[in-house]
A and B are shown apart, each in its own frame.
Chain A
Amino acid sequence: MDAEWIFDDPSIPDETLLYRRVTKHPDNLVPDLETGRWTVGIALFTYRGDGLSIYASCLMEQEQISDIDLIDWDRERLARFETRVVRRGERGDPFVNGHPPAGTVAPGEEFETPGGVVACVSEHDGDSRVQRSHGLVRIALKPETRDAKKYWNAFRVKLISTALIKAAPRTEWSTSIEK
């Protein structure tokens, strides 16, 4: 594990909500084949570069912006999940003993893969308040390192199962949407 790799900032409260852009093209929502409603798929939670790009509500409050200000709602939707879920992991880092998580990870149950959140000003968004609200979700392993994919796969199941979606600025958050 890289000692210089900081994957969690404890000053970000557990109550912080994390927002993630959901592009319409390509569409990162998948249909629930039993209900026909659309929900987040694994493509929304891809681990590359410096981590998973998000906006943190604690930073947004400092900038006095809301979720409505984060994206272009004509081209994007928004997903939301909680910092406490990102950090949740009942047995700590499963790679400490060199054994990657091989399954049986159930959200809220006795074995989960923990992650963290760090603030990171974005260089890509036009609005400086949005830029300063940006952060990254990370796990203990850097992207592109050995075993990071397996670790991240176990981690992102938590996000897939708990994320909510908002398709328009004035609608309610929901686990799935109509298309």
Chain B
Amino acid sequence: MTVLSPKSKNAKYLSKISIEKEGVFWKSSIDQDAVIAPLYEYRNPMLSTVIEIGARCVAVVDIVASPSVQTFYSFPARSSNETDQIREIESVKRKETVLSAAFVHAVHRLIALRESGIDAGAQARLLMTLRRSMSGTSIYPSITSDGFGGAIAEWRAGRRFIAIEFTPDGDYSWIATDASGSLERNEVGSGQPDASELGAALHTFSEQVGSANPNWRQIFA
């Protein structure tokens, strides 16, 4: 098992996380939206991602056998050697939370895109939005970079699509068309779109796609 050395350049996007003492960031009041900002792929038999929580602590996000469950661990980032870090992983607090398979898919797509220059803030806002708006029945999003630091999630079915785009300047766009290709939503704002509204739109979209193509998961296999 290899622990990659952490960086700190993206730490500011995770500043909402409260670190009570070194090595333990997880507590009941943790802001779940701030948890995920994958920086490294953590290669072991389980699919894992190392994320950084400030300069003093990193966390490992393990995607275990059930794709809807993730376990979060934390441990000091500056241990003297790998063995110490592994020991810490086993000893620190842990807590499970439920994430949708669609969200886990999005995380892995972003990991695959980590060399494509996506801005860390845009990535964090995308993940927060997806986490708030997707459910266990959500269709997987297509995740890509706009080539200028922006991050995009898109769902397409025929001429109908939903797309949310986050740009490094802090803005987002929410674009949606209906079955005829007509633009039915064109929203631009700062920060993130309304997650409950987006969630409702994704729920309707997912139901329609699931009905038309029950085997849609094979597209992402």
Across the interface, do A26 and B113 meet the contact criterion of CB distance under 8 Å?
yes
Total A residues in contact with B, Cβ cutoff 8 Å? 34
Please tell me if A89 contacts chain B, counting CB pairs below 8 Å. Answer: no
Cβ-neighbour of B219 out of A33, A106, A153 (below 8 A):
A33
Assuming the contacts A104-B183, A150-B186, A153-B173, asked whether A48 and B148 have C-beta atoms less than 8 A apart, the reply is yes
For the complex, give the distance between the alpha carbons of A106 and B181 in Å.
Answer: 6
Across the interface, do A34 and B144 meet the contact criterion of CB distance under 8 Å?
no
* CB < 8 Å A-B pair total: 111
Which segment, of A61-69, A75-83, A154-162, faces chain B?
A: A154-162
Chain B residues with CB under 8 Å of chain A are: 113, 116, 139, 142, 144-148, 150, 152, 154-159, 161, 163, 165, 167, 171, 173, 175, 177, 180-186, 188, 209, 212-213, 216, 218-220
Please tell me if A96 contacts chain B, counting CB pairs below 8 Å. Answer: no
With both chains docked as a complex, state the minimum distance between the C-beta of B187 and any C-beta of chain A, in angstroms. 8
Extra A-B contacts (4), CB below 8 Å, given A31-B219, A33-B155: A31-B220, A41-B152, A104-B184, A106-B183
Assuming the contacts A33-B157, A150-B188, asked whether A107 and B147 have C-beta atoms less than 8 A apart, the reply is no
Please tell me if A3 contacts chain B, counting CB pairs below 8 Å. Answer: no
Residues in A whose Cβ lies below 8 Å from that of B113? 26
Across the interface, do B116 and A32 meet the contact criterion of CB distance under 8 Å?
no
Please tell me if A6 contacts chain B, counting CB pairs below 8 Å. Answer: no
With both chains docked as a complex, state the minimum distance between the C-beta of A160 and any C-beta of chain B, in angstroms. 7
The proximity string for A residues 84-111 relative to B, scoring 1 for CB distances below 8 Å and 0 otherwise, is: 0000000000000000111111110100
Please tell me if A128 contacts chain B, counting CB pairs below 8 Å. Answer: no
Please tell me if A174 contacts chain B, counting CB pairs below 8 Å. Answer: no
Please tell me if A72 contacts chain B, counting CB pairs below 8 Å. Answer: no
Across the interface, do B156 and A41 meet the contact criterion of CB distance under 8 Å?
yes
The chain A residue sitting closest to B206, CB to CB, is A33
Across the interface, do A157 and B209 meet the contact criterion of CB distance under 8 Å?
no
